[in-house]
Structure 1
Amino acid sequence: MRFSAEDLLSALLEAAPRPTSQAPRDARGLYGLVDHHGDLRYIGSTSSTDQTFYERIHRRHRTGSEGMSHYFSAMYNTGRMWRDRTDPLTKADGDLAKALRNEFVIDHCRAVWLPLPDTVDIARLEAEVLSLAPDHVIAWNRRRMQAYDEPVDLVEGTLRRLGWGAREKAAIERQRLRFMSAMVSPVAAPAPKPATVRQMRVTPFPEGPFRFFALDVETANNDRGSICQIGVACVRPDNSIETWVTYVDPQEERWVFTYLHGISARTVQGAPTFAEVLPVLRDALNGATVYQHSGFDRSAVAAACGNCGLPVPQWDWRDSVNVARVAWPELRGNAGHGLASLKQHLGLKFEHHDAGEDARAAAEVVLRSEGIQLVRTRPPVPTGQILLVADEDFHLIEDDDNTVLVVQEPAAASMPSDPNPCKHTGRHIGTTEITRGNLDNNHIYLRSFFDKFPADAIGGSNRASAAQREIAVDWGGATVVMTDLDGQKKFFRKRAWIREFFERHGARAGDMVAVEEVAPYSYRVALQRRIS
């Protein structure tokens, strides 16, 4: 039997993550490690015939030494789960921290695996799969990520399950303090990001027009004015995003947060000062809406202005946290509306604690919310009626001897106050008939109007060749689905939601699905009942 690296990668990407303890004890092959956000971050293989998935994943990666190729141990060697295994003086506390980490991985991390026969060259297949894998899927393989910040709420959940007492909690708190101390020491700080080019002047700002901006900063220490990086996501009228980023020399001797963002005094050598950057930002953002995710960034800009003796710019600040609270109220009291939570909930792809990446994520939150809010403020359809399409030109569709009844949508209620209301009211782009095959295989054919979708959201025939950009699909469920389109089969690539969509509406072969564009890269699907 011949195995294709592309097919193997696709199978790994599509596999449902499972607890590490469920890894097979009698099988070998390729596997992937999934972090606490639900993101696949590492692809590996069982390197010998006497090493099973269970041994490699649940034991070695989870419980192995932090400094070796045991990635769960290495990536979660942080906060109260941190230890220095070379320090005999802290061994007792460190052993408790390691035990907590082992249990944390059981609770909050997952893995996928793909059994292969022992007769194949697993090492060769692993190398071929790694050569095809997207960078974000193998970020741990290539050492492109530092250890995570402690997921405090999740760690607390594990502690509640373990029922640890005051003695154990005091020990791991000591480890957290040791971790903080180690991270600010010159020896323990991660390798700095070098400034590859000495910036004699500020990087030119992109030329507009822009709908709005999102701004994020990183700081050197607890002084909010110690800005060392600024990122601005610039959202154009077509909702595309261009990101502007610059390092900033805060002229600080004390660097506390290098362990978070990797920026140090060496990184910003030759970078402009805040006083040199501010005029560029003032001109670019004057009179525009500027989003921040929480109030930190606005206060940091104000503090930096105070440090330089400069007037604070009077930009039209908005908070994307408030936008997210309106759009996704179900997160309140659960994971919350921070970027880390929204990353998991919305499937955002970004590296936290990089100003450019975080600014772009905040902008994407606003864009995603526009489509969500539009849907959620629509009036309910009266009982017994089925909402079909909102296009004013459609009242009755005739097709040979069959008639499709279209119930006209009531006039939309006024939108609540929204800092950036969506300008799109819904454009009908096509209708497709549901077949028996659709019902059996959970897909919806989009062939007759496939060219109406954006080209950069259309990918290849499997996940390994997915498009660079995704579209949002509102199907009436609790969450909007983010997916790209299969360019060969011409349907939505992610299909788990389609079964529930069919079941919720009692779909039958011969019924129709109408597709609307409610905003760029944002769509809504609705069932049309065929009357025989």
Structure 2
Amino acid sequence: MRFVAEDLLAALLETTPRPTAQAPRDGRGLYGLVDHLGDLRYIGSTSSTAQTFYERIHRRHRTGSEGMSHYFSQMYNTGRMWRDRKDPMTKADGDLAKALRNEFVVDHCRAVWLPLPDTADIPRLEAEVLSLAPDHAIAWNRRKMPTYDEPADLVEATLFRLRWGERELAAIERQRERFLGAKPSAATAPAPKPAAVLQVNIPSFPKGPFRFFTLDVETANNDRGSICQIGVACARPDNSIETWLTYVDPQVDRWVLTWLHGISVHTVQGAPTFPEVLSVLREALEGHIVYQHSGFDRTAIAAACGRCGLRLPQWDWRDSVHVARAAWPELRGNGGHGLASLKRHLGLVFDHHDAGEDARACAEVVIRAENIQRVRFRPTVHPAPTWLGNGDDLDLIEDLEEAAIPAHPSPAAPVPVFEQPALASRRIGETVITQGNIDNSHIYLRSFFEMFPADAIGGSSRAIAASREIAVDWGGSTMVMTDLDGPKRFFRKRAWIRDFFERNEIRAGDTVVVEEIGAYRYRVALEARSASSAAGGHAEAGAGRNQPDFTMS
């Protein structure tokens, strides 16, 4: 009996969450914890044959002591549900706060579980699933998330169900005050606290001289102007790199890309606004070469300037993708020249979707390319006009970066110019189909997901879909218009995928290729049969298929 980690992860991501009290009392395997917002945040497993889903999820994580890997208890140790278990002076009040927290989890949190046989190597499968899981789904595992602010409305709903009296309500109010660091008052309710005055702190920019800069941004949502982090890598004449990084308060209410980069409205509290950051960068980068990796970062800066009514900075924009294409042409059609592909090919070490890390990686790409083949650039023509209003369509701004050419061409040969290739029929990746794909009508895009346009990538539900869709030619009578589910890294609309599998008689192990055939246009096609498919044909339904035997509850 063989289990595939990708199928197990897909099942955890797609299974409908259920109340913790419904966790099986006799089942073991993998499970996930879902927060009050409906997001999967933790993936774990039952650690021994004596431990069941019910014991682990409903008892340990919900009612266990905070601070001891009991994650519901830890993440909701806040506000009126807060206690300091080591403080004997507040034990009576703290016990009531903990009881409220236990009931809050029952009412508003959920879990998913995948029963596995005791013969399965559950610890190994857990490790494999964790290695593949998107960051948002294991944010609690890595302790990258702070304790939640008290969801006051939901707490009130739980209190309404409990029908607690004045004594209990006074006790949890004292706990809230203790949590906030205020002294409780026996006679009166605490006066409202004034809003905290936060000091805007922009890091000092490094002192030169520098040969060039690389810049990367992260955004809060699919609006390119919603910049929430900017990183700049500064390359010195000796090729050492110094990185500058700051959060940016985009002053938006819609945060749909937190799953990708981990930045939220709480992260940027007190951070400088874009105009404040641009005033530092405008002076530091003015007149210098500034690399971006693809065209997204420049258009994001332009969009943010348009939102704020600011003039575009006069930076000498270059594209490190062009440099990479000139240095490593073998990657064309074989993973491409995105940072994720270059990370694998060059052995780069960085944390993708952190603006500082990505900027440093971009600088390393340029420096390594120079070591292979000296690169020079024709002067860049800055786009006109330099003033953008809110109504300008930033997707129509012409990409005027010049192509890279060798600095020392052979005198006998014309100077070769490495132009950006046309979009038609550009292979961006391939994926091996699993039985889980076939059963659930989806196609994994994880290994080349960064090749899709960022503004076509949405959140985990249709309510937070991307602002733009792509067209998918799958061989049917009509093309499918869909955006991409960022957390799951799938095509969001999937009804066509079952027809695609049936039309091509696809079985587990077959290879499907994805090609870019135009701007926001893609083709999905069968490329190769698996060895078992080629040997046994497709006549015997199910023969030779790799079927995961877990049961989804």
Q: Structure 1-normalised TM-score?
A: 0.45
Q: Structure 2-normalised TM-score?
A: 0.44
Higher relative contact order (CA 8 A, sep 6+): 2
